[in-house]
Structure formats: C-alpha cells, structure tokens
Structure 1
C-alpha cells in the first residue's frame, strides 16, 4: 500500500513554537462556536475497533485540546497558583516535548486533499461503549431492579437517621472504641424492628444485630460479628443460595476514569473496592458505558446510588455466578466529534469514505512517547542498554519550562548534588506519595544497578 507524506491533513492540533498563540486562537474560536447552533463545524465519526487500545482515535486521547468551560477556569487558576500548585496539564507539558514528526508520524494512507479539526475539545466529544466477548455493545437502557422476595424493602434506606448512620459507619470501620451501637425503636412493632435489622445488615456489611430491652424500651443493638474480617468479606450467610453471587450492571460515567468510579461506588456502599471487577479501564476525559460486577451487593442497593451520585448512572442489573476479568472484552465502540473543521463538504466526505473503506495507519499516539521534555522512550532505551547513570539523569534532570515550583527545586537539587535523598526533601509532604517513586527507584538503582528487575 502506497503512503504519502503528511502535509495536507491533521486531525490533531499541531505542535509548534506558536502553541500559546494557537491556544488563545482556539479559545476564541470556541467562544464564537458556542454562540452558534446548527452549523457544519461538527462531524460525528463512528467506528468499531476490533482490539482495544490500538486505535489511532483512542491513542490520541490526551492530545492538546482545550478543556471544557469549567476545566478552562481551573487551568487558569493553576497558572495563577503558587509554586506548590498542581503540575501542568498534558497540553502545557507537550509544548516543551515532541512533535508528530519527531516520532515518525509523517505518512497518510491516502492522497486526497484533507482537512483539519479539533479532536476531544470537550469530554463529551468522546463516547465509548464497551463490546463484550459475546459481541454485544453495552448500553444503559434498563433501570428496573430484579425482583427478589429476600430483598429488603425501600423503607430500609430511610429508616435510619443520619446520626445513626454515622455511628454505625464508625463502628463498621472500627474508628472508635465502641463495641456496639444501640438504636432505640420509637414505634415498637415487630415489622419496624425487622426493617431496622435489615437496614443495618444490608447497609453496613460486617455488622450483626439483636434486640434488647433496656428500661422498658426496645433497642436494636448493632455489633461486629468477626472484627475486620467481616468488613473485607461480605456476609455470606445472608445471601440466597438461589441467587448468583455477583451482581452485574452497566455503569455510565462522565469525566471520570474507571478506578475513580469504583472508589466512589465503594465509598457510598461502604465496602472495599476489590469486590468490584471489570473487563477494561475506560478513559477519564470521555463519556463511557461499560459492564461492572460486584460481589454480594444487591441490585436494590446499587440502584439506590442513582439518587445520590452525579455523572454516574447504574442499570441493566442481573445476577450471575462469575466475576468479570480484564481483557475479556472484544473491544470498544467509539463515537468521536471533530470540531472547528476547516474544509469543504466534499473534502470531508472524501476523507470519511477513505477512513471507512481503506482505514488508517495505526500509529502509536503521542502520549506513548512521554508528556514532558524528556521522552520516555529515551529512558527505556537507556534501561535496555544498562546505562543506569543516564537513566537517573533522564528521570531527574531539570526540565526547563515544563514544570513549576517544588519540582523545579527538586530537580535542581539532583543536578547539583546527585543525591536522591536530598532531592526528596525538596518535595512538600503532600506531594511525596505522587513524586517520590522516581527518587526511590533512583536510590535502588544506585545500590543495585545490576540486579534491578524491570
């Protein structure tokens, strides 16, 4: 197949010395665009990718694109923040890094006249639907909850006061010295006591309950059945044998990656994140739909989260006997929006036909080569060559213009002393967990350069 030089089309924002000016121009275009409707400046492109993580469209997920309106303001605040602020965005860092031509992205598969546009200007411009191993595309289209005689009633979620829930959560997580929590039964009926028992056991896994008489009043006493082990292992004896151990559901999320979403769900359900499983992680800067499985959490509890979470929706519930495993999916279906297109309708149509009929060169995306002034492939090459001094310098040497504040001081200390411990002291305490890995790895390299396992 003949290829042609990349000189007439770009679906990515070009990298040049005028990037700052380009960014301002794009923002002005964006403001102008937001004031118009029904224009031809948008083009939807849909494609089914056989294998995940190999699509050019997906590999460009971190390209230099202005954020949404709320995120633009956040970026401006970062620029005005003190030197202990967060690191620069991918877009800012790439200004000091590689261009497409630096890594060999120079050819097109077709020779027609192309057009340029902006990919992923907004997170809603990138929509991902997971394709299961059976070839079914995941869609969130059913919010009904499977009926089960043993499921708690809806009253279960409202019978406990906020104060009761706070005390029970502290007891569940062993945050205080109390060995039990007593909840007074105001309306003393058997039905009311049953609802409170169900509420404690379903909302706070690991706790058991019993009824006691105290001074002529009825109390529900909540206590730990098996200490910390009960929190890690959901209550097996309360799960019906006829029901599958895993509740599978479809998760719709906006502008959050899969692990962040799992952590949020875990927090609201008061369980450990490791009881969730999934087939693949999905982008943060996107709208994504994927299947999730969770061990011994009822569909009713999961559906209740729809009332209290923003940018999340859960549905299509079913019970199965197996979890999900990474890599079990066929791929992902992408819907991509291109904005600020410069080209005629004929040029756009010709390009879309070429994409559909011929395809594209499946280059690695720019983010695969690193996001700062030191490309990661250079570090990898030095590791393979056993050149550990170069590895340490590439990781820690100063990167002019690519970083701010405390990271600059940290790298300057390394350049001056070659002492990772001294460089580590230049990091503020709140940043140690994020940035100390590079420095600790350098310490290991200095001690065990030959036996280091990559």
Structure 2
C-alpha cells in the first residue's frame, strides 16, 4: 500500500529538491522509494489536492489493455486486427503507426527470454553438462568426437525447449535427437567460424541463426582484410546460404559484413515438391488469448505458462508490460501451441492466479507497442484534506483535481516503474555505465543488492565480495533468469572487461537496450521539468512540435510516412499558433533533433555532465543503438468518471474504517502512467 500526502511547494506549481531535502512540508511517504525515486514534481494545475493511498489491494488497481482497434481486450466481441489475414491498413491503423513515432520502442520495457538449464534439465544433468563443456574447452584441439546424453524426452514440445535452451547457453554445442534421446557434442561449424572471427562473435552469430527473427540482421566487427572477409562470406554462404545472405559495407572507412535473413519472396522460384512440402510444414502456429493476472509480473506469468505448456518464454509475445500490484488484462500470443492445447491447461493456470479467455488461432505474433492504450479502474482509499481543511470540503477538492486534469492533462513523465524496483541502484544508472562503455562498472551496478537477506541478494553480495561467479550462480534462485545468464557467462569468460561484455551479450537484446532507454527516460523527465520551470506554460520559439500539427490541422493528414519535426518560430509564438499539449520533447539518441532554445542548451549540458557530451548513443561491443524518439510534453486522460463515497461514522467505528474512498476510471494512451496522472490529481508523487 502506497501512502501519499500533499506537497505544497510550487514555482508555478513546481516543487524543488535540493540534495535529499524537500522544500515545504515534505510529508510524503511511500512503501517504495517515495520522493527519492524521481523528480516528478512539476504540476500544471493550481488545485490543492488531497491525501490518499493507492494499491491497497490488487482489486483497487485494475488495468485493461485497449487493443489497436479500440476495444478492451476483455470485451466479449474482441477481435484484434492482427488476427485477420493480410489486408490493406485502415486509416485508424495508419494514424496509430504515425503516432507511435513519438513513443520509444519500449521496452519498457523487459522482453526477457528464460533459458535456465537448471530448471529445464534439472540440477544434476545441468551440472553434468557444464562439466562436459569445460572438458571440450580444455581439449579443444583434439579430433576425437565426444558426446553427452541429456536423457530421454518423449514429449516433442519439451525436446524443442531442450534443444533451444542448450543452443542458447552453449552455441558451440550441437544437439541431436535419436528417437527420444537428446545428445550433445561440439559443433564443427561453430569451431570453424570461431577460427575466422572471435569466439564471442561466433556465439552471437549462432544465436542469431537459431532465433530466425524475421527482418533481423547480424553484423560482424569491422575487418580490414579483404581476404579474411572473403573467407567469412564463403563460410556463411556454404553453411547457411539458403537461410541468409551476406554483404560488405563501409562506414567511416571501416568495412564490416552484415548477414540478413532471406525474405520468402527472395527464395529461388523453382522448388522441388519436397521443398514445397517442407515450407508448408514450417508454417508456424500462433494462438492468441487474453490473460487476466493478479499480483503477478507479466514475465513471471509468462515463465510459469511456458513451463506448463513446454515452450520457452520467448515464444510468448505481448503489446506491453502490466503492473504487478494490480489485476490486469492484456492480449498475448503464444507460438507453436494450438488453442485446444492452451485450453487444456486452464485449470493449472488458475492455480497461479491467471485466467485465460478469448482463445483463438491467429496468423502472426504480437509486437511491443501494438495497442492504443490502457483503461484503468482505480480505488483511492483513506482520503482526507491536507492541513486543517474540513472533511466536508473534500468533495470540492476531489472535483477540482479530477476536472482540472480532465481538461488540462498532466506532465507526461515516465513513472517509477520505468527505472526498476530497486532503491539502491536503478536501471538508468546501469544504462549510463553502458553508454560510457564501462562494462565492469555496469556489471557491479547490475549486481548491487537491495536491503534484505533473500537468496538473490545473498548471491549478489557474494559475487561483489568474492568475484566468484560459480559460487554466486549456485546461490542465485532459479527464477532469476537474467542474473543466472550473466553469472554463467562471467564464470566462463571471467569478470574482466571482455568477460563483462560476454555477460551482457548473454542477455536478450531487448533487455540490454532497456537499460539505455531507462537512462534516456530519466533525462526526458528532467528535461520536462526544466522546460516548464524556465520557459513557462506556452510554446515558445525553438520548441519542437510535429510538422502539420497547427490548430485545426492536427488530424487531417492521412500520410503514412513518419511525421517531421517542426521548430516553432518567433512569429508562431507571438500568434499563439500552437498550444502546450502540441509540444514534444526528444528522448536522447543519435537521430533526434533537439530544441533550438534554452532547453536545447540544457540537453547538451546535461549529457556533458554525465560524460556523454560526444556520445553517439551506440554501444558497439554490445550491438546496441539508440536512435532516440519524441514524446509529448503533456498527456490527457479520456473517458474520465469518478465517485466519492463518504460514509457516516457510526458509534464504535474507527476513523480508518469509515475513511472516504474515491472510485476513478479513465483511459490513457500507450506508455502513459496512471500513477503520474494520479499524482497531478492529488498533488503528490506516487510510486
């Protein structure tokens, strides 16, 4: 339960923080990080606000995803657009694709794969496999082919899980099935590529090949030797020519090889009957459903469902991550599972607080960000006015707060969820270390423990104290997939600079880039506060807006090309051509335009302060690139309704029992935070 209170210190409704001390009556308390979490302290309305608590129970915070077609995903007639066959995009889809240009590929964030062999194989077999891989490393030059049996797996789904997990953790191994038995041995193709490139590149290349993500590409490190590049071209073409194509390109006088998956329409036109049948057999089965979960993280729910269904967590796709401390409804798609098989496991899911509905076959997976937004049904309890105001005034305080935000909106900050749940080290600090390519420091930050003596914190403390990744891995709980993948890589390659790079590369790309996005989100929050404090509450010369977004023209264009950024001129400022809700702020990156006013100078100084003055927002060793994006300065809730219940206190009842409650419902666009919206209504910061 998060308790929040009024914070009455403003500069045109802005609160300031100096060190760890807040000006004014800093009475805010939360069970999470409270005011230390962020500087979300700038408001745009002048109502007084009120005290209250949120998330008293999951039932008090209900989140329902709004699909791309505008329907709630739990509505009886839900029919996601992606379930239909190929068709021309509707105008609504075009507008949505255009609007998404202003939102980052969030990864918000956390599309995590779990390939924990300790869980999949069991501790005993996993330990035997690690001994086997160490033996291969020691005897790398021997010609003798050695094998290890991982046991018998009659279920074909489970065999597929074992094959993929082993290959992901040990790309240098080859897995083969003999009837139901799975055996592993050293992969000669991996050995050949490792002799042409580095072993780390070979590992990442084979993971890329195994993943077969449509439209993806892999780039080897720059290579000045044409003869050597030719050898790499020949190897890839000979071994994977039917699947991929290679091409050399030069950037800043350095030449690299890029490998791309072949598109289906680029396959040879003439195919044998056997090849046609093989392609038909490879058509992937997708099943869509709506997941209702309670007091569960999205990835935690996915991990459990994957174990029950015998697939990998990466076989699930979704449009966005949902709160843990809530009841949430969201669309999901699972690969390689039939609707019948999914429905057969409903009772097992229900035992873990999950319910499945709207099960149907679809033609493709979901993509992150493919939603219009979220609907919220909230209950705020224990309301009371601030200071010495009378309880009878509460109804007016609530009305003022809700109506102001309904009409004027709120500052579109990223909420505390964006930066992780840790109070010691947050994700943005890890992201900053990665952008500065301080790999060893980033790993130490990654393993910084929180307060508490649970197993994961004991494992983290042990690693930081001893540097022994193997012993720390034995302590780390099986469900902490990211930490275990990192520790396994550090055990194999050491904890120096190169080992830390290998450790980060062992995590999925979406997880690596999440930390960079988290840092950029922190800068965006600070930029929004600075913009309002220094430049006021009207668009000014040098601000950024979308081109063609003048009043009366905002929604008239049907052009599907990405919108262009327009810089507000002095004449437009004078004539009030734009309103504050049309202003956009850039998320730092290598492809964004910065404001041409005081705020643009602030961005430069802020990045330089963190040692990123010349940063290209690329982390080449980790294959990460942050182009940046634009985010509206303000957001506004839609379809707002509310009801205040003030119960009459009866004899013998405590003040706690009869405290007023506020029921509040509204819709928000994707990537907007309900806690930030509530913060504007109540005039406080929520976490």
TM-score (norm 2): 0.35
Structure with higher RCO (Cα < 8 A, 6+ apart): 1
TM-score (norm 1): 0.49
